[in-house]
Structure 1
Amino acid sequence: MTDSLFTQPQLQDRYRKTTDPVLQLEKINVTFDSFCALTDLSLSIGVGELRCVIGPNGAGKTTLMDIITGKTRPDSGKLTYDQNIDLTGMSPVEISRAGIGRKFQKPTVFEALSVMENLEIAQKMDKSVWTSLRAKLNGEQRDRIDEVLQQLRLTEYRHHPSGLLSHGQKQFLEIGILLVQEPHLLLLDEPAAGLTDAETEYIAELFRALAGKHSLMVVEHDMGFVESIADYVTVLHQGQVLAEGSLRQVQANEQVINVYLGR
């Protein structure tokens, strides 16, 4: 892109080596009635890493995000965040406050409120919606919102009702809602779904720039998008890790071809 917001050194930051995990899952098991959604699932995401998770429908991708964010409790296993925080006994609110943010596949914003008001509320999650709107932002908070609006190409829409935004703009706004909370780990469920080609290219560039400052786990079906962003890819199948490695490595894996890519 000729008008890139990000310098080449910033794009290269995501390739840095790291040994410190921001998230570790060890032998996670989740069963719904008699269906095993996750079976002895173990994976580790490094600090500043951009990890993509792929797999066929029913592979356990959504359940994986649910157990990380506290929506679902594992039957057994261990989830460790930031090397010493046990997530298994924490509520979704506590997990969010600890620094884990999640974007769902379908944008979830307050459509009756303006873009600016959505971001204001996100910065004050410990208050009610209306208390948050009455409270005044300090200079640092306002600067942060201005930065995010510019980063997500929403500056001119700051006073527009969020319900009038396009699908892609709502996707961007929900990412902005996460960013103003300064999470350490972002979980992003199919962020490229429904975007135009130009929006997809831009959000790929954004994710590459965020990696390093944040850790990202992206669940995605669009293999072109995965190819444009992924440092490392985890393939899930029937609730287990089928393969891990670079995209080229997993694309060459015969098991992955048989159960997912070759379908």
Structure 2
Amino acid sequence: MSGILRPGQQYVSAVGDQGVSYGRVRPEGVDTRHGAILYLEDVVVSFDGFKAIKHLNLDISVGELRCIIGPNGAGKTTMMDVITGKTRPSSGTAYFGQSLDLTRMTEVEIAHAGIGRKFQRPTVFEQHSVFENLELAMKMDKRVGTTLFARLNSEQRDKIAAILQLIRLSGQAYRQAGLLSHGQKQWLEIGMLLIQEPQLILLDEPVAGMSDAETARTAELLNDLRGKHSIMVVEHDMGFVAEIAQQGVVTVLHEGAVLAQGTMQQVQSDEKVIEVYLGR
């Protein structure tokens, strides 16, 4: 793939009578004209000779909710580390849209370009209110003085209110985040990702440790986001996966490669998947 650009990189935007005009790559410039937002091709990750990822091929469409399942050690976390720039592949390619080469970008550049990741354990500002957590996460000038003293405008307040409603925390807006239940903290962190307007969201076991009621509400939340964001969900809870996969694609990883792929019904009936993961 040619014409690789990176966020912040200067490029020629126009040539005319006034000379050459330059622009800079911005997050909204991610090229998804071919319908896919993420491409992983022949990705290999080796740690001291051990291949955690073995020639992995994967692509996710714009607006798709993709579920990734597989046994422990299948390479799920390492795959997300490659996508977010935490781990460099030994070989292979990883693209965000058509032109952003993730293997040449830093973690900060990748986040700025529009990929957001939520880890299994919620990381919220526990001494601040739910509203303040969302305010701190909002895209704005992050210089200390500006962040501390700037007042939100009506558009920003409306945006936070919409996110609060979406994540089922409108009634908890001014409650200290540390007092929330485990599930509510998970929803808050998802809200903190959403308010930054990522184009691709990676969720690592979002319902781990949740009650049945919280798991059901999380499924509702992700189904609400379907089509509005491109989402990759790594999860072990098969009941939850069945709720959010619907007729979408489920990818099964095993020993660093794709073992099977298809609808939930198809992978559940796949003999290879039954043998190595689901059991009989």
TM normalised by structure 2 equals: 0.84
Structure 2 distance, partners of 1:86, 1:63, is 17
Structure 1 distance, partners of 2:180, 2:279, is 37
Report whether the alignment pairs 1:141 with 2:145: no
Report whether the alignment pairs 1:175 with 2:190: yes
Out of 146, 149, 152, the position equivalent to 2:167 is: 152
Report whether the alignment pairs 1:234 with 2:251: yes
Structure 1 distance, partners of 2:190, 2:40, is 25
Aligned length: 246
Out of 224, 235, 240, the position equivalent to 1:209 is: 224
Out of 267, 275, 278, the position equivalent to 1:250 is: 267
User: SS at the partner of 2:104?
Assistant: coil
Which 4+ stretches in 1 moved above 3 angstroms?
Answer: 128-131
Q: How does 1:46-61 map to 2 (within 5 A)?
A: 46-61=61-76
- Tell me the residue number matched to 1:9: none
- Return 5+ residue gaps in structure 1 as ranges: 1-17
TM normalised by structure 1 equals: 0.89
User: SS at the partner of 1:217?
Assistant: strand
**Counterpart contact for 1:51–1:217, Cα < 8 Å:** yes
- Tell me the residue number matched to 1:26: 41
User: SS at the partner of 2:88?
Assistant: coil
Question: Which is higher, the Rg of structure 1 or of structure 2?
Answer: 2
Report whether the alignment pairs 1:40 with 2:55: yes
Structure ranking higher on relative contact order (CA contacts 8 Å, 6+ apart): 1
The change in CA–CA distance for 1:129 and 1:110 in structure 2 (over 3 A counts) is farther
Give aligned-pair identity as a percent: 63
- Tell me the residue number matched to 1:14: none
Deviations 1:105-154 (A, max 9, x none): 00011111111111111113651567423222222211110011111121
Alpha-carbon shift at residue 156 of structure 1 (Å): 2.1
Alpha-carbon shift at residue 34 of structure 1 (Å): 2.1
The change in CA–CA distance for 1:126 and 1:234 in structure 2 (over 3 A counts) is farther
**Counterpart contact for 1:69–1:100, Cα < 8 Å:** yes
Q: Which amino acid aligns with 1:20?
A: G
User: SS at the partner of 1:101?
Assistant: strand
User: SS at the partner of 2:188?
Assistant: helix
The change in CA–CA distance for 1:129 and 1:168 in structure 2 (over 3 A counts) is farther
